[in-house]
Structures are given as C-alpha cells and as structure tokens.
Amino acid sequence: MRYLARLAAAAVVLSVSGIASAASPEEGAAPAPQPSNGDLFPTAGHATAAVATGVPFPAIAEIGYAFTNGFALGAIGGVALAYVPNRPTPSVPTAGIRPRLRIATSEHTSLVLIAPMLYYPSARTGTTSDGDSSWLVARPEVFFDGAIGERWHVAGGTGFIAAVSTEALGQVAGGHTVVMPPYNTSTESTKGFAGGIWNTVSSRGSYRLAEQTHLFAEATLVLMGVAPAEVGGPPIVVTIGAQHTF
C-alpha cells in the first residue's frame, strides 16, 4: 500500500509539472504579437514623429509624447491653405498642440478624444490689404475606435470646428463693437468674418506597417447642421501620413 501511495503521488507531481510546462511558452520562443493601439497612442514614455499631407494642410508634422498608454500630447507645425472668396488661395503657416485621450470600453474598442488647437499668425480675411489677422482654431472630436486584428484600427466620430480672429477677441475684450474688414462682396466693415462654429462628421484609420511605424488616414466633412458648410473652399479635411514611435 505504501508503494502504491508513493507511486500515485509521483504521478500527480508529474502531471502538474507537465501541465505547467505546456502552459508556459517554450524557451526562446517569440512572444505573441500584441494588438496595436494605433498611431495615436504609443506605449507610455515613448516619443513619436509624424508627417502628413492633404487638404487644407499640404504639409504638416507633429512631434508627440505618450505620458500614459491612454494620454498623449503632440506639438504641430505646418502650412495650411486659406480659402478666401474671389482671391487667390495663399498658404499660411500654422502651429499648435494636439492632445488626445483614450478610454477603453472593451479589449478591442475605446472612446478617443482628439482636440487639435492651432494658431495662424497671419491669415487675410478681407478683400483689401487691411484684412490681415491672426486666428485661433480648435477642432475637438470624439471617436469610437475599434482594433481589427493586430494591425488595423478604424474609427468614426463627430465634433466641431471653432475659429475666431484674435483681432475680434481684442475688440470684445476692450468693450468695443467688433469691426472686421469687408468680406466677400460686402462693403460694410461690421460684416467682416470674425469667427464661427461648424459641426463635423469624421472617420479615421491606421495600419501598423512595422513594429513601431503606422500609416494613417483621416477624412472630415464640415457641416452647418446637416448641410455642407460654406467655408470658402471644399468643406472637407483630408489627411494621409505616417507615424513612427521612438
């Protein structure tokens, strides 16, 4: 009996050891690839660089940093096309920041807030040389994002674009009536464009090209309610580019 008991105990130990060995990865085997968080959210503590082109930004770049796995902040710089009725379309410089926040809703889905804020040091808004003004533009949007496999992310969402002239802000702060240069065919100084708010419908996607490199694309329709907005040019924002994590 004592011999049989020892034999049974040995069998149990061997069985448990075999299960543990089977459950653990083989020595030297590569770890299973993890799903990508997309181009917006690198691992905490890592820096990113991105370049892109599109409409109305023919050239724009960003240097970013991930403070956590779900919060990152980027510094943006580039040039944009300034659409003004009845005038040639100039390119104007722009710079700003792009904070983004990710809240997981499941293993493969999340809510994502992206809120770029840009400063345009000089963008002419009138039909005369008096129409130079600096501008502030904010574009917060909320997306529902989903990971597809280990490489793809797709998202759709909505938000708004708000633009305001710093000249108009200064007039309001000083208690004055807003007087902007004539806009389009108007000859009244008070009819100049001082700012506005438009709602947006957007989609974006990213593809992990390599372990630390993503391709991405974004498309936004700018609306006034349910109708395309009249913004002087195409009421769309389209961006395609590449991002690398360091």
26 found inside a domain:
no
| pLDDT for 223 | 96
pLDDT at 9 over 90: no
Contacts of 238 (CB under 8 A, 6+ apart): 54, 55, 217, 218, 219, 220
DSSP 8-state assignment for residue 30: P
Please tell me the total count of domains within the chain: 1
Residues of 162-176 as b/e, b for ≥16 C-beta within 10 angstroms?
ebbbebbbebeeeee
pLDDT average, residue stretch 24-44: 68
In a domain, 215, yes or no: yes
**Quick one: tokens of 28?**
């030297």
Q: How confident is the model at residue 144 (pLDDT cuts 50, 70, 90)?
A: very high
What's 208's domain CATH number?
2.40.160.20
Least confident of 38-52, 76-90, 170-184, 198-212: 170-184
Omega of the bond prior to 56 within 30 degrees of 0, cis? yes
* Tens digits of residue pLDDT in 52-69: 999 999 999 999 999 999
Residue position matching structure tokens 């280990």: 150
Distances (CA, A) of 246 to 16, 65, 88, 102: 42, 10, 40, 20
CA atoms within 13 A on the CB side of 26: 3
Encode pLDDT of 194-223 as tens digits.
778 999 999 999 999 998 999 999 999 999
H or E element: which one contains 19?
Answer: helix 2-23
Q: Is residue 17 part of a domain?
A: no
pLDDT value at residue 35? 57
Most confident of the ranges 141-150, 168-177, 225-234: 141-150
Question: Is 29 within a domain?
Answer: no
Q: At 168, is the pLDDT very low, low, confident or very high (cuts 50, 70, 90)?
A: confident
Q: With bands split at pLDDT 50, 70 and 90, how would you rate the model's confidence at 237?
A: very high
Report which of residues 242 and 22 the model is more confident about. 242
* Helical segments of 116-180, H only: 166-173
- Distances in Å between the Cα of 137 and the Cα atoms of 12, 84, 95, 164, 172 are 69, 16, 10, 7, 17
pLDDT, the chain, mean:
80
Task: Give domain status of residue 228, yes or no.
Answer: yes
- The domain of 188 spans 40-245
pLDDT at 25 exceeding the cut of 90: no
Taking the C-alpha atoms of residue 183 and residue 164, their distance in angstroms, rounded to an integer, is 15
CA–CA dist 67, 42 (Å, integer): 9
Distance of alpha carbon 196 from alpha carbon 182, whole angstroms: 16
Any domain includes 23:
no
- Note whether residue 9 is domain-resident: no
pLDDT for the residue numbered 10: 46
Is 234 among the domain residues? yes
Beta strands, E only, the chain: 47-55, 59-68, 71-81, 91-104, 109-114, 117-120, 135-138, 141-148, 152-165, 195-210, 213-224, 227-228, 236-245
pLDDT band at 125 (very low <50, low <70, confident <90, very high): very low
